[in-house]
Amino acid sequence: MWQRIQTLYLAIATILLGSLFFSKVATVVGPEGEDVFIMYYEKWNYLLFLISVFLANGICLLSYKARLLQMRVAVLSALLLLGLQIWLGVDYFRHRDEMIFSFTIIFPLIASFLDILAARNIALDEAMVQATARLRSAKRKNHR
């Protein structure tokens, strides 16, 4: 399982997403100078996206024997992460004057890129397995 590069991509993406559960999205500076932190888990829309994508990446990591399922879930996770990134971008442009956003706002984009790389490598592995199976079956037919 850990010998394949796509597992590393999925593990890094899952770690990035897991870190978002403990990170802040933005800081709001109050009128008296006090800082109020807004965490990802405090906004239900971010939390819903994070839970679904974290579970999808967990399924990808654990379904290494079912490559087609793993590839499809990785693509679905990448699309959900792009949706989360768009949502974060909209909130950034809507509230950039009153909030100071954290650098973790780009983590979904990085994780989405890693999921796409993982899906690509899973597809390459599947093509290699299919080609090897086809060659073995052709070799058996020729020896009979």
- 34-78: pLDDT as tens digits: 888 999 999 999 999 999 999 999 999 998 888 899 999 999 999
Write the CATH number of the domain with boundaries 5-143: 1.20.140.150
**Dist. CA 144–CA 141, nearest whole Å:** 6
- Please give the model's pTM, rounded to 2 decimal places: 0.87
Domain boundaries, the chain: 5-143
5-20 helix and 67-95 helix, angle to the nearest 10 degrees: 40
Q: How does DSSP classify residue 69?
A: H
Look at residue 81 and give its three-state secondary structure: helix
